[in-house]
Structure 1
Amino acid sequence: MVQVTTRDVMEKFNLQIVSGHEGIGRYITTSDISRPGLEMAGYFTHYPANRVQLLGKTELSFFEMLPDNVRKERMRLLCARNTPGIIISRDLEVPKELIAASNENHVPVLISKQTTTHFSSRLTNYLESELAPTTAIHGVLVDIYGIGVLILGKSGVGKSETALELVKKGHRLVADDSVDIRQESENMIIGSPPPLLEHLLEIRGIGIINIMTLFGASAIRPYKRVTLVVELENWDPNKSYDRLGLDEEKMKIIDTELTKLTIPVQPGRNVSVIIEVAAMNYRLKRMGVNAAEEFSRRLDAVIASNGEVDDFN
Structure 2
Amino acid sequence: MKTITVKDLVDKFQLEVLAGQTQLHRTISRSSVHRPGLEFVGFFEYFPQEHVQVLGEKEITYLHTQTEQERDIRIGNVVKYHPPCFVVTWNQGGLEYLIEHCAREGIPLLRSPKPTSVFIERVDAYLTKAFAPEVQIHGVCVNVAGIGILLRGKSGIGKSETALTLIRRGHRLVADDAVVLKKVNPELIIGTHNQKTREFLALRSVGLINVARIYGRSSFQDETRIVLDIELTQWKESELYNDLELETKYVEYLDVRIPHIEIPLQPGRDVAALVEAAANNYYLQLQGYSAAEEFMQRINSDS
TM-score bracket, normalised by the shorter chain, equals: 0.7 to 0.9
Task: Kindly provide the amino acid, as one letter, of the partner of residue 41 in structure 1.
Answer: V
2:48 matches 1:48 = yes
Task: Kindly provide the amino acid, as one letter, of the partner of residue 176 in structure 1.
Answer: D
C-alpha offsets along residues 77-97 of structure 1, whole Å, 9 cap, x if unaligned?
A: 21144510112233232262x
1:128 corresponding residue in structure 2: 128
Deviation at 1:284, TM superposition (A): 1.4
C-alpha offsets along residues 46-90 of structure 1, whole Å, 9 cap, x if unaligned?
A: 111111111223223333455655433332221144510112233
**Equivalents in 2 of 1:175, 1:44: separation in Å?**
45
Is the Cα–Cα contact under 8 Å of residues 32 and 123 in structure 2 kept in the other structure? no
Is the Cα–Cα contact under 8 Å of residues 81 and 107 in structure 1 kept in the other structure? no
**Equivalents in 1 of 2:65, 2:29: separation in Å?**
33
Counterpart mapping for 1:230-309 below 5 A:
230-302=230-302, 306=303
1:174 corresponding residue in structure 2: 174
Counterpart mapping for 1:20-35 below 5 A:
20-35=20-35
1:165 corresponding residue in structure 2: 165
Deviation at 1:39, TM superposition (A): 0.8
Task: Kindly provide the amino acid, as one letter, of the partner of residue 119 in structure 1.
Answer: F
**Equivalents in 2 of 1:217, 1:20: separation in Å?**
38
**Equivalents in 2 of 1:73, 1:79: separation in Å?**
10
Unmatched runs of 5 consecutive residues or more in structure 2: none
What is the percentage of aligned positions where both structures have the same residue? 35
1:10 corresponding residue in structure 2: 10
Task: Kindly provide the amino acid, as one letter, of the partner of residue 180 in structure 1.
Answer: V
2:147 corresponding residue in structure 1: 147
Q: SS of the residue aligned with 2:45?
A: coil
Is the Cα–Cα contact under 8 Å of residues 140 and 163 in structure 2 kept in the other structure? yes
Q: Which moved more, 1:197-206 or 1:285-294?
A: 197-206
> When the two structures are aligned, how many residues end up with a matched partner?
302
2:68 matches 1:92 = no
Question: Structure 1 residues 263 and 80 mapped into 2: Cα distance closer, same or farther (>3 Å)?
Answer: farther
Q: SS of the residue aligned with 1:139?
A: strand
Deviation at 1:13, TM superposition (A): 3.0
Question: Structure 1 residues 7 and 248 mapped into 2: Cα distance closer, same or farther (>3 Å)?
Answer: same
Deviation at 1:268, TM superposition (A): 4.2
C-alpha offsets along residues 210-246 of structure 1, whole Å, 9 cap, x if unaligned?
A: 4345444444334333221101112334544442231
Q: SS of the residue aligned with 2:152?
A: strand
Q: Which moved more, 1:182-191 or 1:149-158?
A: 182-191
Is the Cα–Cα contact under 8 Å of residues 49 and 80 in structure 1 kept in the other structure? no
Unmatched runs of 5 consecutive residues or more in structure 1: 307-313
**Equivalents in 1 of 2:122, 2:168: separation in Å?**
38
Give the TM-score taking structure 2 as reference length: 0.86
**Equivalents in 1 of 2:202, 2:190: separation in Å?**
22
**Equivalents in 2 of 1:43, 1:186: separation in Å?**
32
**Equivalents in 2 of 1:61, 1:168: separation in Å?**
55
**Equivalents in 2 of 1:237, 1:207: separation in Å?**
33
Deviation at 1:260, TM superposition (A): 1.1
Task: Kindly provide the amino acid, as one letter, of the partner of residue 72 in structure 1.
Answer: D
Question: Structure 1 residues 56 and 242 mapped into 2: Cα distance closer, same or farther (>3 Å)?
Answer: same
Provide the alpha-carbon RMSD of the alignment: 2.7
Q: SS of the residue aligned with 1:195?
A: coil
